[in-house]
Amino acid sequence: MDTLATEKKAASAGNSADFLPLKNWDHIEFYCGNAKQSAFYYQYAMGFKLTAYSGLETGNRERASYLLEQGKIKFVLTTPYHPDNFISDHIKQHGDGVRDIALEVDDAESAFNETVKRGAVPVMEPTKIEDESGFIIRSAIKTYGDTLHSFIQRNNYKGLFLPGFVDASAKAVQGIKDAGLRSVDHMVGNVELGKMNFWVKFYGETMGFSQLLSFDDKDISTEYTALMSKVMQNGTGKIKFPINEPAAGKKKSQIDEYLEFYHGAGVQHIAMNTTNIVETVSELKRRGVEFLRVPTTYYKELEARVGKIDEDIDELAKHGILVDRDDDGYLLQLFSKPIEDRPTVFFEIIQRKGAKSFGKGNFKALFEAIEREQEIRGTL
Ligand code: FE2
């Protein structure tokens, strides 16, 4: 590892159209208490494939990391070997959770310089990391809570994943069937009361994103709770980050509950695309993944609300799949229960049939379903 001379190449000025061109999601890294066992959950329950590993056997004395892949989705699960480091502190504070939303770029040095110049807090200067398969350049900045954005430049790397990782097929569970998850659709952050606009400004001014949508407490409220949300997206529209904050309500909202149990701001959910939500959800349920349920009355007026859809409504009702329509088409979506003991991170399974929006029409039914779960947990 060596830190690149930052003066090597000034970021190309004049190209103000998109000063932070992002190629795609690179990977999402979770810090967790026992990555070896969590890797089984992602394989058996979620249909991911364990493909790469870094740990004691590969000379990594600090941490064990497992790469799990499905479609284009890459999750890295990391556990520290010792208590005196940031990873252990992160787990103590937050439980298992997302540490890094890593983004693939053509130029990790420029991504770092351009964002730090615009106020981003630097975490890792552009650094060359290599092994026998070539090198990557990696840099990182802070976002909300203890969450990071790493910028990964991998055009000079031919290896499996990142330098230091080796093939893990011998450790992988054999015969695991994929669940049809294809790519990350969006990732949502929960931030503290009054901080939504701060982070909207961060994604706007520091990262060059634009605001796609805004929902206030009139859009997203039930009898008891409310929240506010703004959706930021990058220039290509590939990377979308909705940001939520709690809003005043009669009872404690799901965002308050998250903030209390995560002990701060962090990633609330990861939405993943499928091309057949009925099949994906049936498969995930069969393997033990738990989803939220809306009352059957949701389906009574469904066709009147969203118009004709290709799917069989009884089949959607059987699985509790939600439908919403916008000007461009419709979408089907379903939310898991929290994926760990703390009521924090969860997954969304989404199938887009033209629609580019975020299921505003489902917010009320969805939040009432969450409130029923909160009530059982004693956190409403
Ligand atoms: Fe979502």
**Burial of residue 213 (number of CB atoms within 10 Å: 0-12, 13-18, 19+):** middle
How much is the pLDDT for 8? 35
How much is the pLDDT for 4? 46
Distances (CA, A) of 274 to 195, 278, 281: 32, 9, 10
Distance 186 CA to ligand 1 centre (A): 7
How much is the pLDDT for 231? 94
Distance 333 CA to ligand 1 centre (A): 9
How much is the pLDDT for 3? 43
CA distance 24 to 47: 22
Q: Are 12 and 59 in contact (CB under 8 A)?
A: no
CA distance 91 to 254: 21
CA distance 328 to 351: 14
Distance 118 CA to ligand 1 centre (A): 28
**Burial of residue 287 (number of CB atoms within 10 Å: 0-12, 13-18, 19+):** middle
For residue 148, list its beta bridge partners. Answer: 100, 142
Nearest to 188 by CA among 333, 378, 77, 299: 333
Q: Are 113 and 11 in contact (CB under 8 A)?
A: yes
For residue 140, list its beta bridge partners. Answer: 124, 150
Lookup: tokens for 36:
């070896």
Distance 13 CA to ligand 1 centre (A): 35
Q: Are 151 and 111 in contact (CB under 8 A)?
A: yes
Distance 56 CA to ligand 1 centre (A): 37
Nearest to 179 by CA among 285, 271, 74: 285
Lookup: tokens for 45:
């329950």
Distance 340 CA to ligand 1 centre (A): 18
Listed as ranges, residues in the chain with pLDDT below 70 are 1-16
How much is the pLDDT for 318? 94
Question: Beta-carbon neighbour count of residue 14 at 10 Å?
Answer: 5
Distance 370 CA to ligand 1 centre (A): 14
What are the φ/ψ torsions at residue 124 (nearest 5 degrees)? -140, 120
Distance 187 CA to ligand 1 centre (A): 7
Class at the top of the CATH hierarchy for domain 181-377: alpha beta
CA distance 59 to 127: 20
**Burial of residue 32 (number of CB atoms within 10 Å: 0-12, 13-18, 19+):** buried
Distance 278 CA to ligand 1 centre (A): 18
Count CA within 13 A, CB hemisphere, residue 332: 23
Distance 348 CA to ligand 1 centre (A): 6
How much is the pLDDT for 221? 81
- Rg value, the chain, Cα: 21
Distance 338 CA to ligand 1 centre (A): 14
CA distance 247 to 372: 19
Lookup: tokens for 212:
């796609």
Distance 48 CA to ligand 1 centre (A): 20
Q: Which numeric CATH code is attached to 17-167?
A: 3.10.180.10
Distance 133 CA to ligand 1 centre (A): 37
Distance 104 CA to ligand 1 centre (A): 22
Residue 146 DSSP symbol: T
How much is the pLDDT for 319? 94
**Ordered alpha helix ranges (H), 249-343:** 254-262, 277-286, 302-306, 313-319
Q: Which residues contact 298 (CB under 8 A, 6 or more apart)?
A: 317, 322, 365
Each domain of the chain, given as residue ranges in start order, spans 17-167, 181-377
On the question of a common fold for 17-167 and 181-377, the answer reads: yes
Give the predicted TM-score (pTM) of the model.
0.93
Nearest to 153 by CA among 187, 186, 127: 127
Lookup: tokens for 349:
């399974």
81: left (phi over 0), alpha (psi -120 to 50) or beta: alpha
